[in-house]
Amino acid sequence: MPELTYQHGTRVNRVPEGTVSFEILDQTPVAILGTAPAADAAKFPLDTPVGITGDLAQIEALGLTGTLADSLNGLVTAAGGRFIPKTCIVRIEQGDEIEDTLANAVGAAGSMTGLHAFKGVASELGFKPKIYMAPGLTGQRPGDAANPVVAGLVPFLERQRARMLVGIGGATKEAALAWRDDVSSLAIDLIDPMVLVPGADGLPVARPAEPYVAGLGCKIIRDGDPNSKKPAGFWVSWSNAVIGGIVGTERPITFDYTDPDTESHLLNENRINTIVRDGGYRYWGGLSASSDDDWMFSSVVRTRFAIEEMIARDFAPIVDAPMNAPAVVEAIVSLDEKLGDMRQAGAIIDGRAFFLPAENSNGQLRRGQLRIEFDAEETPPIHGLTVGSRRNKKYFDVLVEDIVRDLAAQA
């Protein structure tokens, strides 16, 4: 590059790399909203994001009552008991009635209480949760209206490109279907029914399914699941994998691979994930609550969210850099190469980065506004498999030939 200022002597300039380095953000961090009346208030103040580091003493400080301790135990158990994902909890005050607790969970935007406390997680704890849940606080429909906790979190989740596991826990399939009509969002995964887990006396007790499903998901993202032919990866569906730590479901769910007249099929048809018994208790569905068929698979949504956030974050270093052709080309090439890496890994079918002159007018460029494009198709799961069943009478010709040959051999 030519020097624009006078220099009599030696000049050393460090030349910046032109490429942009892309990295997918960790998709396992968890955020849990819940209650813990017996918690140590100094360690777990109300309406405040607190990071769980894996210190057992820290977890014990939550006490045994409320929803948070059970949620963490379920998460760790289903994840394999080998690690605690990065976890943020927000403890809310437990009310005298469930309506009071739900009001505390909704909180207020101005005071950053309740669910609004999650807005400070990234700056306060240094990580962004990607799996949200509020076990025990999402199945209610006060006054036959939509659940206020889920309704309050959906806009935030979509802006954060994060997803929420929502336990419906309906007493009947009719109750689950009524809940389903309250929401349509690609940031939500609905789960019904509740699960049974061993209680303190060894007898099964009903608990929200979300922590156990989240633990299964973290396990698949990090380790894969050889038993269900799932490689490790954030783009892999969690469906058809056995959930660890549960011993049943609160109500039995009828299931058959070939018969559509089952409750599991009805729930999945309405984009409600469920749990079926087949060589263990399997998460069944892998479906988002979106009404758009293009975004029906949770794994597809998770992959798109991960790609979009990666691009927004990792293009940050070129913001306010000089706008010139080499810099723009390097940015496009770098993104195109990353999409190629994702194709090789199996996360996408294919993708590309490119530049459209029509989207970059002189006026836009003079104002420092540059636009580049990418497209991609995420790898969907094999959700339905059709096998043609046919007969072929020509095989009898083979039988006749075999008979004639065997008779000739005995002659």
3-state secondary structure of 16: coil
Q: How far apart are CA 233 and CA 224, in angstroms?
A: 7
pLDDT at 170: 81
Instruction: For the chain, give the percent of residues with pLDDT over 90.
Output: 85
Structural domains in the chain plus CATH codes: 30-300 (3.40.50)
**Residue 17: pLDDT band with limits 50, 70, 90:** low
CA distances from 127 to 27, 45, 70, 329 (A): 10, 20, 23, 31
Specify the residue for token string 């087949």: 278
pLDDT number for residue 242: 97
Q: Which residues neighbour 245 within 8 Å (Cβ) at sequence distance 6 or greater?
A: 74, 77, 78, 197, 212, 215
Q: Summarize pLDDT for 264-311 with one digit per residue, the tens.
A: 999 999 999 999 999 999 999 999 999 999 999 999 999 999 999 999
Query: Which of 1-10, 232-241, 325-334 is predicted least confidently?
Result: 1-10
Residues 214, 309: Cα–Cα separation, whole Å: 21
pTM, entire model: 0.92
Query: Residue 219 above 90 pLDDT?
Result: yes
Q: Are 215 and 77 in contact (CB under 8 A)?
A: yes
Tell me the β-bridge partners of 196: 206, 248
pLDDT at 406 over 70: yes
Helix (H, G, I), strand (E, B) or coil at 206: strand
2 pLDDT above the threshold of 70: no
Distance of CA 150 to the CA centre of its chain: 16
- Asked if pLDDT for residue 57 goes beyond 80, the answer is no
Q: For position 4, what pLDDT does the model report?
A: 63
* Conformation bin of residue 54: beta by default, left when phi > 0, alpha when psi is -120 to 50: left
Question: What is the dihedral angle through the alpha carbons of 127, 131, 135, 140, rounded to the nearest 10 degrees?
Answer: 120
pLDDT of residue 21: 84
Q: 310 by DSSP, 3-state: which?
A: helix
**pLDDT of 166 strictly over 60:** yes
In this prediction, residue 317 has a pLDDT band, given cuts at 50, 70 and 90, of confident
Residue 7: pLDDT band (50, 70, 90) is confident
Q: What is the pLDDT of residues 327-372, one digit of tens each?
A: 999 999 999 999 999 999 999 999 999 999 999 999 999 999 999 9
Average pLDDT, rounded, for the chain: 93
Predicted local distance difference test score (pLDDT) of residue 83:
66
CA–CA distance, 22 with 217 (Å, rounded to integer): 24
Q: Which residue in this structure is represented by tokens 């208030």?
A: 41
Return the structure tokens found at 190.
């609905």
Angle between helices 148-160 and 98-106 (to 10 degrees): 20
Q: Which residue in 65, 64, 62, 70 sits closest to 44, CA to CA?
A: 62
Q: For residue range 251-263, what is the model confidence (pLDDT) as tens digits?
A: 999 999 999 999 9
Q: Residue 40, Cα to own-chain centre: how many angstroms? A: 31
Asked if pLDDT for residue 1 goes beyond 60, the answer is no
Q: Are 255 and 174 in contact (CB under 8 A)?
A: no
Neighbours of 40 (CB within 10 A): 14
Please enumerate in sequence order all residues whose Cβ is within 8 A of that of 238, keeping only pairs 6 or more positions apart, or say none: 213, 216, 217, 220, 283, 286, 298, 299
E strand residue ranges, 232-372: 241-242, 248-249, 272-277, 281-284, 348-354
Report the pLDDT averaged over residues 97-111: 96
